[in-house]
Chains A and B, each alone.
Chain A
Amino acid sequence: MRRYFGRKLAIYTLTFVLAVTIDWLIPRFMPGDPVRVMLARAGLKAEASATMYTYYTQAFGLDLPIWQQYLNFWNALLHGDLGTSLWLFPTPVLKVITRAVPYDIFLLLPSILLSWWTGNKFGAYAARSKRLDNTILPVGYILTATPYMWLGILLAWALGIAAGLFPISGAYSYALRPAFTWTFIKSLLEHWFLPFASLFLVMFGGWAIGMRNMIIYELEAEYSHYLEALGAPRSLVRKYAFRNAILPQLTGLALQLGVIVAGALATEIVFSYPGIGYLILQAIQNQDYFLLQGCFLFIIIGVLLANFVIDIVYVLVDPRTRTGMQGEAA
């Protein structure tokens, strides 16, 4: 067991280093000079601009040799310093990101968990009868085939503009400031509902389909037939099939949770919801490379962590993987 995890850890670390390196290379590959871009915005006179340019280039460490910049980057990273944002100068990137993260969690955690739960339940129902299957299956597939942003647009237009029931941009009313008042919370929830619904529906479809396929597979397994031959009631057979079918769904869940930090890019754009996804868009539009770099770093870490957690969870939960660890017989 220890060897297995030791090996996994080594592989993950290696992957991390490689991915982070690629991430670090991003601004270096961008055409143009990030400092110049920033200064262009300030609209300074020529000489002032030149001095500022030298100052900032030094400040950002861009005049150092490449390898030194690389090492400095790792140094800063391990100290939790992701650099300074260009667009929202002088706010540190980490601060900008951490301001956005709570909104992502608020939006994605309920939608992922709820859609997982209900999706799996419905998927299991589909396996009960042909008729249920023929209704649930197409619905599930259509939902999962729906592009996130389109459903967002549809809901925004139908329920937001046409019916006027919900607002369609921001996390809360622009007239309010965050406070622990009922007005604020109500506004928060109103702004939350449509993006939540669009995410929930599409994800629900995916889980339902996945579960349905897994359950059908399990119901046809030999252990199911044996139980039936020994007079086990349908409920017991279904219960066992469900427990087995849910294991791969757990993997999927962990993965989805892991990339919560990546935000829901398309949905957030439609609703101007201030999560990391929206942040990325704004960083692109404002050419804030350091912010971009920081966001991507967050995502990389999230994905790797999630994968690692999945590996652990799976070993704990599925006894079959434990023998698999002892190596595959050729």
Chain B
Amino acid sequence: MSLEVENLRVYYQTLHGDVKALDGASFSIADGEIMGLAGESGCGKSTLGYSLIRLTSRMKYVEGCVMLDGIEMPVWDGEKMNAFRYKRVSIIPQYAMSALNPTRKIGKMTADLLAAHDVSYKEILPELKRRLDLVELSHDVLNMYPIELSGGMKQRMVMVLSTLLNPSLLIADEITSALDVSTQKAVAEMLVEFRNQQIVKSIMFVTHDISILYQIADSILVMYAGKLAEKAPTEVIINCPRHPYTQLLISSLPEVGVKHAERQLKGIPGSPPLLLDPPTGCRFRDRCPAAHHRCLEEPPFVEVEDGHFVACWLEVDSHA
């Protein structure tokens, strides 16, 4: 599978104007790649995740091209996207705990959903049971109501359900954000297992938690204020990031074993710009220690070395 996104812009319609939440994203995900999508709250990562499968009522598609496996996905058309949803692209939402219809037995709901996609529940049942074993859920859950399951069980059920038809691309939207650390580990490992067993081809893991990405992601895409900042293989991002924002982000992570007395945590002073009327040029320039006059013009997102993209004049200029 491969995902190619070109200049995707999705804005939010509000009373005060358009919030430019996702303002020109171009990147690609290769077959079998787990790409982490990281950034602080409000940077546009969830918007990016959702725009690839279902635009909510407030979202407005502005422009951009999304190609999945060489076919263009009509992300702006809710009806036409149904042909792609679930079978080619699927999502594990952030609200997995309340994603299941409370008045329908889980098995019944699955059967209804599958029937809508012309898949026979009976035929897929053995595979479904195998998947339940994979996530350590008893087969009995199919006969239960969502309210009879614990939060963790519901999350795992949603994971199974979302990947049942082996989508090419799985979008995991902040699925570990509300979990305790050990469950986070279990869920993250399950995702990797899904990819390894070819249940899903590639995964886009949206989160603000870089440490989890370090554990499971092949590459990381860092976003800031609606724009892409840097994309590179995980090792590179963690050990030798090039974008000033990424550098500050990595250095602000606490390290195990290091005490506060020895080394103080550096944060990034300031806060991201409001995207209703974003500043011209590089959106990070107000907080960037390396900002200079070039930064008044927006830097392009270019490949500075193999598989490593940065949007910063320091890198672009030195590379050029």
Contact = CB atoms under 8 A, between A and B. Distances in A.
A/B touching: CB–CB < 8 A: yes
A232 B145 contact: no
Nearest to B82: A231
A47 interface: no
Contact of B99 (A226, A233, A322, A323): A226
Given A243-B103, A319-B147, A228 B54 contact: yes
Contact of B100 (A223, A229, A232, A320): A223
Contacts of A243: 103-104
Contacts of A244: 101-103
B117 A320 contact: no
A230 B147 contact: no
A323 to B, nearest CB: 6
Given A225-B93, A240-B104, A319-B145, A231 B116 contact: yes
Given A230-B85, A231-B85, A222 B103 contact: no
B135 to A, nearest CB: 18
B53 interface: yes
B202 interface: no
A64 to B, nearest CB: 55
Given A236-B116, A323-B147, A229 B104 contact: no
Nearest to A319: B145
B91 interface: yes
Interface in A209-261: 221-223, 225-233, 236, 240, 243-244, 247
Nearest to A220: B57
Nearest to A228: B54
A316 to B, nearest CB: 12
A225 B116 CA distance: 16
B91 A229 contact: yes
Given A229-B54, A320-B103, A236 B113 contact: yes
B95 A230 contact: no
A318 interface: yes
Contacts of B161: 230
Given A222-B98, A236-B112, A229 B53 contact: yes
Interface in B133-165: 145, 147-148, 158, 161-162
Given A232-B113, A319-B145, A223 B93 contact: no
Q: Interface on chain A toward B: helix, strand, loop, or mixed SS?
A: helix
Contacts of B85: 229-231
Which size bracket describes the interface of B in this complex?
20 to 34
Contact of A230 (B86, B103, B148): B86
Nearest to A234: B79
Which size bracket describes the interface of A in this complex?
20 to 34
A233 B117 CA distance: 9
Contacts of B81: 231
Contacts of A227: 101, 113
Contacts of A228: 54
Interface string B66-105: 0000000000000001111111001101010011111110
Contact of B101 (A229, A240, A247): A240
A322 B103 CA distance: 12
Given A231-B82, A231-B117, A247 B87 contact: no
Contacts of B93: 222, 225-226, 229
Contacts of B147: 319-320, 322-323
Contacts of A323: 147-148
A233 B86 CA distance: 12
A204 B100 CA distance: 32
Nearest to A235: B116
A43 to B, nearest CB: 66
Contacts of A236: 112-113, 116
Contacts of A223: 98-102
B52 to A, nearest CB: 10
A28 to B, nearest CB: 49
Given A225-B93, A229-B53, A229-B91, A247 B103 contact: yes
Given A230-B90, A231-B84, A243-B104, 11 more contacts: A222-B95, A223-B99, A226-B93, A227-B113, A231-B117, A233-B116, A236-B113, A240-B104, A240-B112, A244-B102, A323-B147
21 contacts: A221-B98, A222-B98, A222-B99, A223-B98, A223-B100, A223-B101, A225-B54, A228-B54, A229-B91, A230-B162, A231-B83, A231-B85, A231-B117, A232-B113, A240-B112, A244-B103, A319-B145, A320-B147, A322-B147, A323-B147, A323-B148
Interface of A: 221-223, 225-233, 236, 240, 243-244, 247, 318-320, 322-323
The 7 closest A-B pairs by CB, nearest first: A231-B85, A226-B99, A319-B145, A231-B86, A229-B54, A230-B86, A223-B101
